[in-house]
Structure 1
Amino acid sequence: MVYNNLKPRTIFYLFLIIFNLVSLYFIIELFTYDEIVGYLITGEKKIGSPRARAYLLLITFLLNLYFMMVEVIENFFINKM
């Protein structure tokens, strides 16, 4: 079976890449909305801006990308020596 040779680190990187792609999709979608309107049970409107959530996801995406690049560069130079 192919999965027996995968290290936990490789599985973690694959999961992180998938999470980043999904996160990038939601970041793009959230930045396209100006506001989100919700209707409460009492009949009131609740208006909120999705910008804060989009910036939070963007920061998470960038930190994950930074973490992955540091690890890849570190492994590249360790294997060269």
Structure 2
Amino acid sequence: MKQGIHPDYQKVVFMDSATGAKFLAGSTMKSNETVDYEGNTYPLIRVEVTSDSHPFYTGKQKFAQADGRIEKFNKKYGLNK
């Protein structure tokens, strides 16, 4: 392998801003914040969405808008029977 072309990986803690869930992963991201996680201190990266809060993984998807759009379409074009 060529030397000097690969990024420096380090262990960092990603924290979901919505739920507060944390997980440890390798990353090239840098941060000024640190957090104690499982007895060690790691850089902290805050993220908006993780598998802990994303509707696809939680099963809490919102279908209210889709239902409203279908009803509106049927009402507009007279397809309600």
Instruction: Mark yes or no: TM-score above 0.5.
Output: no
Q: TM-score normalised by the shorter chain: which range applies?
A: under 0.3
- Higher relative contact order by CA 8 Å / sep ≥ 6: 1 or 2? 1
TM-score by length of 1: 0.27
TM-score by length of 2: 0.27
